[in-house]
Amino acid sequence: MTTFQPTFLLHGADYNYEQWLDYPEVLAEDFRLMRAARCNVMSVGIFSWAMLEPTEGEYQFEWLDRLMDSLAENGMRAILATPSGAKPAWLAHKYPEVRLVDEHGRREPYRLRHNHCPTSPIYRAKVQQINRRLAERYRTHPALFMWHASNEYCNFGCRCDLCRDAFRAWLRQRYGSLDALNHAWWTTFWSHRYSDWSQIEPVDPSCHGLMLDWLRFCSDQVLNFYRQEIGPLRELTPDVPITTNFMLPDVGLDYWQFAPHVDVISWDSYPRWHGDQPDSAVAVKAAFMHDLHRSFKARPFLLMESTPSVTNWQGISRPKRPGMHLLSSLQAVAHGANGVQYFQWRQSRGGEEKFHGAVVGHIGGGETRIFGEVAAVGDHLAQLNHLTTTCNQAAVAIIYDFQNEWALKLAQLPRSVEKNYQEQCVAHYRPFWEMGITADVIDSVAADLSAYRLVIAPMLYMLREGVAARLAEFVQNGGTLVLTYLSGLVNESDLCFVGDSPLRPLLGLWVEETDVLYAHNQQTLEATPGNALGLSGSYPATHYADVLHLDGATAVAHYGHDYYAGQPALTVHEAGNGRVYYLAARTDHTFLTDFYGALRQQVNLLRSVSAPLPEGVTAQVRGDGREQTLFLLNFQPTPQTVDLGAVTYDDVVSGTAVSGTVELPAYGLRILRAGK
């Protein structure tokens, strides 16, 4: 493992020079423009296998030598990619086993990318060979800065014989015997008991244990592929850090398991700005994802891809309005990014992505609005290099558990529409973003909970091994925990708990049944008079409403309607030195704002700015007690004002002292350093 500790913030893009070899004037022009935009790094070689190895065993590196040399001559660095994300035609045709097979047993024709079999020994060997060549050739090259393993690994979903056999071996390892497997998967249901390992086919959506294990296996297999793929890189360049670009959850990988194997986390972020949701809502989701990626290693991450303007795959993608590019780029930095990069530097002339946004479009040159906005990011980053050694500190964390998400998706519930696990995690995060309070996004199984005062686990349907005990210990030691409806229903194998839920002692209650609501059904949470949080009034409850029996907990709110009117809907249980809240129904943003506003005071969470922030504006702090940088970010299309009170800051960009009220332009930001 290599520690990544840059001394400057990265600024750059995916640069597919190999597409431009017939246009010799392009290279010099690109470097002129890269300097003008204050770029210091380029991701190169992604998808260039056919240009590196045009036929089997025949290599041509001259173009990449030229590119690497040009980077070094221009004082820039290379994030050098391994090319396994897309395979050359010769490979796919000569070795059909490298092409994935779908669930109906059909092998893919040669096309597209990100569609290889992750098990194929031939693909693994070929990838290792080309990676070894790259590492041998560039191991001492001055431009080599970081490895970019493949591109956006995901669950490829291959169901070829090799993958099926590997799955069965994985199951033998996990369960030891068919009896154990049949019990864990409850296969007596519909007479699906297996009497031989060879009968197991990962194609039966009615057997949730099977499909959940298949998803786990696929995630493990991709991780295993990655670990094999980076073997030559680790061997030949042990000091060069390795990343691979993650993308939005959920892509079928348990990134919590992947993260320990990469040196630096990076991810690709493509929010739908100016779409059918307010930009402030889009910003909250982007912020959640940035915080998740920071939390994977509790260290700064890289924004590996973002578009400088539009995408061409989101149905409708509007150009970023003036200011939005700088704002969304610096948003990533505010949440812990040590660099901002784009897909793509130069727009391709042909193929699938020829109309995707780029720093340099078909029109060329550096006179465009987009180029100007990219250059502005470069100017800002150059003034923020002090941030590289800092991270964000959080006292509150939201649990986001991929395996829980998979199990929830598979579950057939009385209300299966709009389970929306990810959206609900973001909904519980949003009040903290609005209050300007840093939040981490953590795993249920491995995260160190002792770092937090408040932990929130929305819809933790599946309690994996040890999780109930970890939560209990957190509360015992004085933590405050929030759990919700649809929690603690199944164990790690997706078997329902029988008798008492493992959460019963912690919650001080038991759930007898769950009402599910259509949009036209009326239900409310009514604040119980004199409740300890000081909540008052009535809030809508939707989707799910648990009917509870208290067994040590007390009611903070109760239901307003139907046969369970008057029964508890929000409870608190004093346990050990801490407290557990149980939110029995889905609620809206107004409720979550009031609830977490009250909890903020109860557990004493500090806001970055003491006065309330205007809607659509957040304040994020990067750094620790000695060295703090405050980012004020306005995601509204209109100017907004923030009250800083009596605290004096230095504006990093203008160099002036700032206190009292500050004006943020439409889609504008201020970056302030607390006085030292």
359-381 per-residue burial string, b: 16 or more CB within 10 A, e: under 16: bbbeeeebebebbebbbbbbebb
Q: Distances from the Cα of 190 to the Cαs of 186, 193, 399, 409, in angstroms?
A: 10, 9, 35, 21
CA distance 426 to 441: 10
Helix (H, G, I), strand (E, B) or coil at 499: coil
Question: Which residue is catalytic, options 53, 97, 229, 305?
Answer: 305
Residue 343 CB, nearest distance to ligand GAL (Å)?
4
CA distance 128 to 496: 43
The pairing of strands 10-15 and 41-44 is parallel
Asked if 587 and 525 count as a contact pair (C-beta separation under 8 A), the reply is yes
Helix (H, G, I), strand (E, B) or coil at 410: helix
Smaller CB separation from ligand GAL, 268 or 594 = 268
Residue-wise DSSP of 537-580:
SEEEEEEEEEEEEESS-EEEEEE-SGGGTTSEEEEEEEETTEEE
Residue 151 CB, nearest distance to ligand GAL (Å)?
5
Residue 390 CB, nearest distance to ligand GAL (Å)?
28
Q: Give the Cα-Cα-Cα angle 425, 283, 154 (nearest 5 degrees).
A: 60
Burial of 341 (0-12, 13-18, 19+ CB in 10 A): buried
Residue 600 CB, nearest distance to ligand GAL (Å)?
36
Torsion of CA 34, 114, 125, 173, to 10 degrees: 130
Torsion of CA 651, 656, 661, 665, to 10 degrees: -60
Cβ atoms < 10 Å from Cβ of 650: 17
Asked if 369 and 335 count as a contact pair (C-beta separation under 8 A), the reply is no
Smaller CB separation from ligand GAL, 18 or 515 = 18
Smaller CB separation from ligand GAL, 353 or 643 = 353
CA distance 168 to 173: 9
- Quickly count helices (H) and strands (E) in the chain: 18, 27
Residue 231 CB, nearest distance to ligand GAL (Å)?
23
Q: Give the Cα-Cα-Cα angle 299, 304, 308 (nearest 5 degrees).
A: 130
Helix (H, G, I), strand (E, B) or coil at 214: helix
Question: Which residue is catalytic, options 18, 97, 152, 434?
Answer: 152
Residue 99 CB, nearest distance to ligand GAL (Å)?
20
CA atoms lying within 13 Å on the CB side of residue 178: 12
CA distance 632 to 617: 7
- Tokens 């700064």: give the residue: 300
The closest alpha carbon to 273, from 333, 350, 329, 228, belongs to 329
3-state secondary structure 75-140: CCEEEEECCCCCCCHHHHHHCHHHECECCCCCECCCCCCCCECCCCHHHHHHHHHHHHHHHHHHCC
Catalytic (active site) residue 305 = yes
Smaller CB separation from ligand GAL, 208 or 356 = 356
Residue 229 CB, nearest distance to ligand GAL (Å)?
16
Smaller CB separation from ligand GAL, 305 or 443 = 305
Q: In what order do the strands lie in the sheet with 266-268?
A: 242-243, 144-148, 77-81, 41-44, 10-15, 337-342, 301-305, 266-268, 245-246
The closest alpha carbon to 614, from 576, 640, 586, belongs to 640
Chain residues binding ligand GAL by CB under 6 A are 151-152, 247, 268, 270, 305, 311, 343, 353, 356
Which residue's CB comes closest to ligand GAL?
Answer: 343
Just list the catalytic residues: 152, 305
